[in-house]
Amino acid sequence: MSSITESQQGTILPGEPEGEMTRVGETEAYLYRAPAGSTNPRAVFLLSDIFGLPLKNCKILADTISKRLRCDVWVPDLFAGSPTFRVHDLDGILPTKPGQVVSYIGYLKLAVLVLRCGLWMYWNCGAVVDPRVETFIREVKEDKKYAKVGAVGYGFGASICSRLSTKDVVLDTVVIVHPGRCTGLHTNADIDDPVQIPTSWACAEDNFAFKPHMHLEAEAILAGRKGTPEFNQYEFKEYKGTVHGFALRPHLADPEAKAAFEGALAQTVAWFEKTLV
| Interval 49-71: pLDDT, tens | 988 898 899 999 999 999 999 99
* pTM greater than 0.85 (yes/no): yes
Query: Does residue 102 register a pLDDT over 90?
Result: no
pLDDT tens, residue by residue, 151-182? 999 998 999 999 999 887 799 999 999 998 66
Q: Binning pLDDT at 50, 70 and 90, where does residue 209 land?
A: confident
Dihedral sign for Cα 83, 192, 180, 136, please.
Answer: negative
Angle at 253 between CA 55 and CA 159, to 5 degrees: 40
Tell the CATH superfamily of the 20-276 domain: Alpha/Beta hydrolase fold, catalytic domain (3.40.50.1820)
Percent above pLDDT 90 for the chain: 58
Give the residue extent of every domain in the chain.
20-276
* C-alpha span between 157 and 164 (Å, rounded): 10
Residue 226 has φ and ψ, to the nearest 5°, of -60, 135
Q: Binning pLDDT at 50, 70 and 90, where does residue 81 land?
A: confident
pLDDT tens, residue by residue, 177-189? 999 866 545 443 4
Mean predicted confidence (pLDDT) in 99-104: 73
CB contact at 8 A, 94 and 206: no
Q: What is the pLDDT of residue 271?
A: 98
Q: Binning pLDDT at 50, 70 and 90, where does residue 261 land?
A: very high
